């Protein structure tokens, strides 16, 4: 059987630091369900395959001035937002970023499985190990886990997740 090549189109909300200056920009875009719903529906109408939501669990170390004018400082939690978007879309894939360093397998497996059921099979997971050292403090951890340990944890974490889903 010959397979037809298929280009997968994914989109994510702009994270460019200067986008707030663009005429017509919506500064509250990343924290507005109304705007995210419009974005997801527009992507779906444009026949995109998926909406990808990047995420970080702490602010990066930048100047207060840069944070004040940054348009993506405040974002909605992907695993809360995507089930809501699943209810107002029909076909587009919904991909959430979630860290294996600062989550526990059972709870994350449950949340992603819930998204998968609500969306009728449109859920996706962008597995990350959290490169932002500032995230440790948000979880009561004195130091960010070393690179090699984070990746060893990620391998075990994804294996446990697959076992829970199976």
- The per-residue pLDDT for 60 is 62
Cα of 162 vs its chain's centroid, Å: 19
pLDDT at 73 over 70: no
Q: How many CA atoms lie within 13 A of 51 on its CB side?
A: 27
* Residue owning tokens 């998926």: 50
Instruction: Give the tens place of pLDDT for each residue, 99-129.
Output: 999 899 999 999 999 999 999 999 999 999 9
- pLDDT bin (cut points 50, 70, 90) of residue 98 is very high
pLDDT at 3 over 60: yes
Q: Are 40 and 92 in contact (CB under 8 A)?
A: yes
List phi, psi (to 5°) of 35: -70, -40
- The per-residue pLDDT for 28 is 74
- The per-residue pLDDT for 63 is 58
């Amino acid at each position: 059987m010959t397979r037809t090549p298929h280009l997968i189109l994914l989109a994510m909300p702009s994270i460019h630091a200067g986008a707030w200056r663009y005429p017509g920009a919506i500064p509250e875009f990343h924290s507005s369900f109304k705007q995210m719903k419009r974005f997801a529906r527009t992507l779906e109408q444009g026949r995109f395959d998926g909406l990808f939501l990047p995420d970080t669990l702490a602010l990066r170390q930048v100047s207060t001035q840069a944070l004040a004018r940054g348009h993506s400082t405040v974002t909605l939690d992907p695993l809360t937002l995507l089930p809501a978007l699943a209810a107002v879309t029909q076909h587009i894939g919904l991909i959430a970023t979630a860290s294996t360093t600062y989550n526990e397998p059972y709870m994350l497996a449950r949340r992603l499985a819930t998204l998968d059921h609500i969306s009728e099979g449109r859920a996706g997971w962008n597995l990350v190990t959290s490169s932002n050292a500032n995230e440790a403090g948000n979880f009561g951890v004195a130091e960010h886990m070393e690179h090699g340990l984070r990746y060893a944890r990620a391998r075990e974490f994804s294996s446990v997740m697959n076992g829970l889903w199976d």
